[in-house]
């Protein structure tokens, strides 16, 4: 399993707008080989968000980043002033995965 996360710092008072942009966007993820899950996570501190995707492996994620679907999903820009700076990308390969009734 491979996890890709982008950390966002959202301007105070723009959180609902940020969430709505994510809620209503076209993701182009459905049906992609190796895609498992997407979640938008909100932190305990004001303005902290993470987009979190789970992939079967790093190669599936890398294929997504080179695809037309990726270009379409990232073609629109975030309206000015919602996010402070650029998101910080972080990537993780799983070492241990535990699920109800399953350890891999």
**pTM, full prediction:** 0.86
Instruction: Please give the domain boundaries of the chain with CATH numbers for all domains.
Output: 2-103 (3.30.70.100)
Q: What is the mean pLDDT of the chain?
A: 92
Q: For residue range 53-100, list pLDDT tens digits in order.
A: 999 999 999 999 999 989 888 887 788 899 999 899 999 999 998 888
Residue 102 has pLDDT above 90, yes or no: no
Residues whose CB falls within 8 Å of the CB of residue 39, separated by 6 or more in sequence, listed in order: 51, 52
Handedness of CA 61, 86, 22, 80 (dihedral sign): negative
């Amino acid at each position: 399993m491979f996890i890709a996360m982008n950390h966002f710092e959202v301007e105070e008072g723009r959180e609902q707008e940020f969430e709505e942009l994510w809620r209503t966007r076209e993701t182009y993820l459905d049906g992609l080989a190796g895609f498992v899950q997407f979640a938008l996570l909100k932190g305990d501190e004001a303005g902290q968000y993470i987009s979190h995707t789970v992939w079967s492996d790093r190669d599936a994620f890398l294929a997504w980043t080179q695809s037309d679907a990726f270009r379409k999903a990232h073609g629109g820009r975030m309206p000015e002033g919602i996010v402070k700076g650029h998101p910080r990308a972080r990537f993780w390969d799983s070492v241990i995965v535990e699920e109800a009734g399953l350890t891999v």
